Structure 1
């Protein structure tokens, strides 16, 4: 090389300004979250078979579904500070792996006939599995939020969260295929086969997530003109000061979105509970068809997550969350007309799906924006714990279905839709009155009843 040649520089590892680390992290965290979510949705995909084997009434089916879903909230809040103390960014993989091993093992145990002879032994195993899975979700969301530029947080949380509708959609089709192959009476086989996909995915994620790659990511974020999620200027990340949990519980921008998320998961769980039974017992489709058709709304669920996550970066988390809850309420109300035929069933699910999943990455972004420095895992644990308490909705829906004439009568199913739709409008109202906008074009126009200071919108140095 001649002495006049310019020095060679390493190319910037970015795609349109987004560091390659963010894109690779998205792929791995999408897959990790997809398998986590799928292990929790397995119950609903095979619910008609479970109802038949254990001879459950609508009321008992609701109780079972509620217990298993609510159990996802058991570990997240008490372990939230532990998650933050175990490292951030790439290092969250260590404590995430502990949770993943837990939900992997207990999913497998749920597929062993000798351990699930009674409905309550099955419920116990599923509840422990979901407790690990719910806690794992809190870490997985925090990991994604800390692996993307702050200005693109909503978009990448939305992209990651497509793992719930699209990842579980793939799983629902797989479950339908397994049931067709082995017979619906052998539904336990799905609990033995589906989790095996976790092994290669976790090996790949473990190899990818390293300190060296993350340090390079932070430099590339700054070079691209964005804000690094774990740095304040040149200062490295520091854990939150003692008392972060108490401070987070006094922040309206954490507590109120968490309550809205409770309503969101109550509706999502309610729809997941409602659809397969409605399709099988009112629509008279086979149990394998019910497993497949009950996840149609997840097709647009992923599109909604990407759309609303991106919209929230531009216009604001509060504005977008209100809009999605109103959309969801309308979609839920319209679902009563799905009995008019397969095209109606599919079309209304596709409309509904634009909001069923899209609310969650926006709310996670809302809470992440409001979290103090070093306390994002704690804040997300509050949201997740509160959110999954909404999993008790099948308890109420089971009684409504029973009171309306049982599994084969549409009346109780329609009553369930009215309750869920009303809850969506309630969520929109409390978000309007009791939260402050955190980002976007509408931030300066907020006229909420709570002060900016109470929502951690005082000096920037206290912000996440």
Structure 2
């Protein structure tokens, strides 16, 4: 993969933004039980923070996408990263559950803008033949962030330093870390060449662009609803499942999640690369098929080792399919709204899937705390839905991306 120095910096910035965005989001998944205990509520009540974060990403995708199409990908991305760092850290000072939920909703707005801005900046800045591998690299930012959250949880949470024991509030203070990426973007990352070239062209109104492609946009929203159920349905409550149903300690939970995310990184890179050879649609189909036989080992095993093996295979499949998405959505999107449409359909699908966290917790609680059943049910149904849905997708691998 031959990239220039500027292109490598652009890919690094997009990767780091998404990685640290995911790090902030997944910190919460390790802390649900402890937050619920402090506020005196059920885990399902705190899980509404997952719902609100995911639901409000839809709003952020639209706001920051429009800013990216007007101001440029780079300045909008810098503002977005700064805001999700601030809102993430402020959650540490929540006096009650209501304030905590409001802050996580605001965090969701900022989180919703990062993916579309980062992926459009990267995809418009690299040669077409590098798009598959870079797509896998970008999407691997998500499981890498999850992995870092697992490492931070295992190393810090519950540890005592002098007279102070690290609790959930201190963990949220780690959310300030992404703000430092803004300095790197400001100093070393150029604007998208496609956006710079588009300045000489008048752009149609967003509503006109979407109206001209409404059938494709609706299809993309449905596809991304399935994809978001696939990822969040196999990730968000998995640490809670390991804590509540198996009574594993934080260190054991962390290393199982780390193994799962190593599988996710391997899957994203592998399927992103092969999508350049076999096509985006075929790569996604194969990845989703792999998830089906992995369900039993991933959800119903009894030992940490077997659960870790199952989680590794499951996340190879889940993030293998996701590793193709940055390239695929940017190739499908109309150029005049590329910072808006991929993020819009991604987060609109995310909005439709956003109730997954509370729903899975409620299914588990209604079945005597059986989180394995709730996880397996969603994973199986959604894997089949993706296999069917992706076969209707256009294939536009290798097309030149323009911003007008």
TM-score by length of 1: 0.78
The equivalent of 1:224 in structure 2 is none
User: Which of 53, 66, 87 pairs up with 1:81?
Assistant: 66
Given the alignment, which residue of 375, 378, 397 partners 1:439? Answer: 397
CA 1:154 to 1:41, structure 2 compared with 1: closer, same or farther past 3 Å?
same
**Distance in 2 (alpha carbons) for counterparts of 1:151 and 1:48:** 45
Cα pair 2:156 2:166 within 8 Å, conserved: no
CA shift at 1:238, angstroms?
5.2
Q: Which residue of structure 2 lines up, in the alignment, with residue 444 of structure 1?
A: none
Aligned position for 2:359:
396
Q: Does 1:422 align with 2:389?
A: no
Q: Kindly state the Cα deviation for residue 84 of structure 1 after the two structures are TM-superposed.
A: 0.9
Can you give the 5+ residue segments of structure 1 that lack an aligned partner in the other structure? 1-15, 216-228, 441-456
Counterpart among 392, 409, 413 of residue 372 in structure 2: 413
Change in Cα spacing, 1:240 to 1:367, as seen in structure 2 (3 Å) is farther
Q: Is 1:143 the equivalent of 2:116?
A: no
Q: Could you tell me which of 7, 24, 28 is aligned with 1:43?
A: 28
Hey, what's the Cα distance between the residues in 1 that align with 2:401 and 2:350? Answer: 32
CA displacement at 1:76 relative to structure 2: 0.9
> Which residue does the alignment assign to 2:288?
325
What SS does the corresponding residue of 1:160 show, helix, strand or coil?
helix
Contact 1:263 1:423 in 2 (8 A): yes
The runs of 5 or more residues in structure 2 that have no matched partner are: none
Alignment CA distance shift 1:278-1:393 (3 Å): same
- In 2, Cα distance between the equivalents of 1:290 and 1:184? 19
For the Cα contact (< 8 Å) 1:400–1:413, is it kept in 2? no
* Aligned counterpart for 2:110 among listed residues 127, 132, 139: 132
Would you say the 8 A contact 1:240–1:375 is kept in 2? no
Offset of residue 245 of structure 1: 4.4
Measure, in 2, the Cα distance between the counterparts of 1:336 and 1:80: 37
Structure 2 counterpart of 1:103? 84
Bigger Rg, structure 1 or 2: 1
Question: What secondary structure sits across from 1:148 in the alignment?
Answer: coil
How far 1:169 moved relative to its partner? 0.6
Corresponding position of 1:223: none
Give the RMSD, CA atoms, in angstroms. 2.7
Q: Does 1:261 align with 2:200?
A: no
Deviates more, 1:181-190 or 1:391-400: 181-190
Q: CA deviation at 1:117?
A: 2.2
| TM-score computed with the length of structure 2 as normaliser | 0.89
The structure 2 residue matched to 1:54, chosen from 21, 39, 64, is 39
How many pairs align? Answer: 399
